[in-house]
Homo-oligomer: A and B are copies of this chain.
């Protein structure tokens, strides 16, 4: 009963008009990433999402995964859908051409991850984990390991996992107890129990490649004594064929609040044959090299759920007749007006949309910088882009997933009682969205990453990568009469962010609790400013497309003609409403959402005392 259509129009706007993804083709390695090629890939994937994966979303949730004697069966249709997904070559999307990967720019991949998450979050976890494991091996594995494992993972006939968490430790991986004993042949024997392992066991692929955090004998305690191991479900013979079953068994799966179609496994390793990936005792650091990508991906999960939630809420608000517009009936020919006439329903819809479109724009910008960081020939550009990505990663992870949860709940609220019924399908979005705030580092940990690591890194260099362009934009447009309604509130919010940053830097140096106690509020303030920076640019472009130039002069062509020209250039005839919608959303963002920065600022300036004063025993 739910609906989903990939937001290709908005994605094109971001790629072509906001972040100018046409520049990607000039980067070494991305020669084939022409705008046409990117368009083609996104359209193909949109079809897969809409027609193959989305129809299995609700049934997958209802049925869930099954466990019996170490064997996990995915919900009806999942296995067949995965086979088609593999056949079409999608597992290669994220992979390097050296191993037959598609070598798709990250800019595109991030937006692709949004679509997959909208369509079927539970399904999308399987390939996502393979990508994570692929990346770990690609970056840190020996050539031998790469040759033996990567091609099969790229083609999707083998999948991957990341085995970090144990029953007594999730966030604090320094407590990991799983052990790896070196063998004479250079391999290791891994023993221990891991929990919450997504895709740890399933029926999609003939082999599963586990990447496992474990301790070598006599390794230092804490995070500096953890190494990374590759442990296949089936051993792999010299010739690449599958050998005997390795000593790893799925001990059960979890019943969860949501993402029921994604298997979440207990994995018991008992003298399992493993191979060291990277250097001994550097497992945590190796993990972190791919943590950014994973966290950005989880941010896109939040965004994807927000998008599909919005689409369903909008459809219901337009169709459900209930009450009358307050001034006068707006659709007098009907028994009642549709929900969308009600101001509070519009407030909810616009809250969803303004955040979603702002977040998508930010994802485009971060994606572009991911590509610049990895592919640009100039090391200075690479460094700058990499800094920005590092800085914004916790913001994307945390704010996007918080928004995903908020938006899915607003969709339920707009549906009223019908939203609470499982059959309607929207409450599933809430349950699915909830995990994104938790996995890949709970959102509170993202706040700590931002204030405790990223702010101070390289003497504040990362921060400047964001502050400088925002400050430059504000300065360049401070007297622009048309953009004033956006620039002025952004400048105010940015001022708050600067002051809050200064306070955290000063007080946090004296007492780390001062930074930590306001870290979540600070991250949120940061995110609101970042989205504001996206929205002012989207408003600027949209005004220009409508012939309302940001210079304040009216264009020769007039609004309609310019918009039509722009429409023609992106191949969509409905562009005037598109840009008008953008401007309306921008106004909503600046007048209704950005003001949250004022209370966040007050809360941050109140510091740690109200949080820390009460003794532990007082709780």
Report the stretch among A46-54, A206-214, A315-323 that lies at the interface: A315-323
| A192 → B minimal CB distance (Å) | 16
Q: Are the C-beta atoms of B417 and A438 separated by less than 8 Å?
A: yes
Residues of chain A from 309 to 360 with CB closer than 8 A to chain B in the complex: 314, 317-318, 321-323, 326-327, 330, 335-336, 338, 340-350, 353
The CA-CA distance from A346 to B519 in the complex, in Å, is 12
Q: Does A63 contact B (CB under 8 A)?
A: no
Report the stretch among A11-19, A105-113, A123-131, A254-262 that lies at the interface: A254-262
Q: Does A423 contact B (CB under 8 A)?
A: yes
Q: Does A431 contact B (CB under 8 A)?
A: yes
Contact with B along A160-174 (1 / 0, CB 8 A): 000001001111101
Q: Does A72 contact B (CB under 8 A)?
A: no
Residues of B within 8 A of A196 (CB): 417
The CA-CA distance from A616 to B325 in the complex, in Å, is 12
Q: Are the C-beta atoms of A170 and B417 separated by less than 8 Å?
A: yes
Known: A442-B416, A444-B413, A513-B343. Contact between A606 and B591, CB under 8 A?
Answer: yes
| A410 → B minimal CB distance (Å) | 10
Residues of B within 8 A of A314 (CB): 619
Q: Are the C-beta atoms of A610 and B588 separated by less than 8 Å?
A: yes
One of B255, B336, B512, B613 near A587 (C-beta < 8 A):
B613
Q: Are the C-beta atoms of A421 and B516 separated by less than 8 Å?
A: no
Residues of B within 8 A of A602 (CB): 595, 598
The CA-CA distance from A422 to B599 in the complex, in Å, is 35
Q: Does A511 contact B (CB under 8 A)?
A: yes
One of B169, B171, B257 near A430 (C-beta < 8 A):
B257
Residues of B within 8 A of A609 (CB): 587, 591
Known: A340-B619, A513-B343. Contact between A431 and B613, CB under 8 A?
Answer: no
The CA-CA distance from A338 to B615 in the complex, in Å, is 13
Residue of A256, A321, A439, A516 ringed by the most chain B CB atoms within 10 A: A516
In the complex, the chain B residue whose C-beta lies closest to that of A589 is B610
Residues of chain A from 578 to 609 with CB closer than 8 A to chain B in the complex: 580-581, 584-585, 587-588, 591-592, 595-600, 602-603, 606, 608-609
Q: Are the C-beta atoms of B172 and A323 separated by less than 8 Å?
A: yes
The CA-CA distance from A600 to B592 in the complex, in Å, is 9
One of B255, B323, B326 near A513 (C-beta < 8 A):
B326
Residues of B within 8 A of A405 (CB): 409
Residues of B within 8 A of A322 (CB): 169-172, 175
| A206 → B minimal CB distance (Å) | 29
Q: Are the C-beta atoms of B611 and A343 separated by less than 8 Å?
A: yes
Q: Are the C-beta atoms of A516 and B257 separated by less than 8 Å?
A: no
Q: Are the C-beta atoms of A434 and B442 separated by less than 8 Å?
A: no
Q: Does A114 contact B (CB under 8 A)?
A: no
Residues of B within 8 A of A617 (CB): 577
Residues of B within 8 A of A327 (CB): 511-513
Q: Does A420 contact B (CB under 8 A)?
A: yes
Q: Are the C-beta atoms of B430 and A413 separated by less than 8 Å?
A: no
Residues of B within 8 A of A511 (CB): 327
Q: Does A448 contact B (CB under 8 A)?
A: yes
Q: Are the C-beta atoms of A344 and B520 separated by less than 8 Å?
A: yes
Known: A327-B512, A344-B444, A618-B580. Contact between A611 and B595, CB under 8 A?
Answer: no
Q: Are the C-beta atoms of A603 and B611 separated by less than 8 Å?
A: no
Q: State the copy count for this chain.
A: 2
Residues of B within 8 A of A347 (CB): 517, 520, 611
| A63 → B minimal CB distance (Å) | 13
Q: Are the C-beta atoms of B611 and A588 separated by less than 8 Å?
A: yes
Q: Are the C-beta atoms of B345 and A257 separated by less than 8 Å?
A: no
Contact with B along A394-424 (1 / 0, CB 8 A): 0000000000010001001100111111110
| A225 → B minimal CB distance (Å) | 14
In the complex, the chain B residue whose C-beta lies closest to that of A447 is B344
Q: Does A443 contact B (CB under 8 A)?
A: yes
Q: Are the C-beta atoms of B599 and A175 separated by less than 8 Å?
A: no
Q: Does A435 contact B (CB under 8 A)?
A: yes
Q: Does A437 contact B (CB under 8 A)?
A: yes
Residues of chain A from 506 to 520 with CB closer than 8 A to chain B in the complex: 511-513, 516-517, 519-520
Residues of chain A from 33 to 78 with CB closer than 8 A to chain B in the complex: none
Known: A591-B610, A619-B314. Contact between A170 and B416, CB under 8 A?
Answer: yes
Residues of B within 8 A of A599 (CB): 595-600
Q: Does A427 contact B (CB under 8 A)?
A: yes
| A418 → B minimal CB distance (Å) | 8
The CA-CA distance from A139 to B409 in the complex, in Å, is 37
Q: Does A614 contact B (CB under 8 A)?
A: yes
Residues of B within 8 A of A618 (CB): 577, 580-581, 584
The CA-CA distance from A513 to B597 in the complex, in Å, is 25
- Extra inter-chain contacts (12) besides given A169-B322, A314-B619, CB under 8 Å: A175-B336, A317-B619, A344-B520, A346-B517, A346-B619, A349-B619, A350-B610, A405-B409, A416-B438, A416-B442, A419-B438, A598-B599
A–B Cβ pairs within 8 angstroms, 20 of them: A172-B322, A175-B335, A255-B422, A256-B427, A257-B421, A343-B513, A344-B517, A346-B614, A349-B619, A350-B610, A353-B619, A413-B438, A417-B439, A430-B434, A577-B617, A584-B610, A592-B610, A592-B611, A596-B599, A599-B599
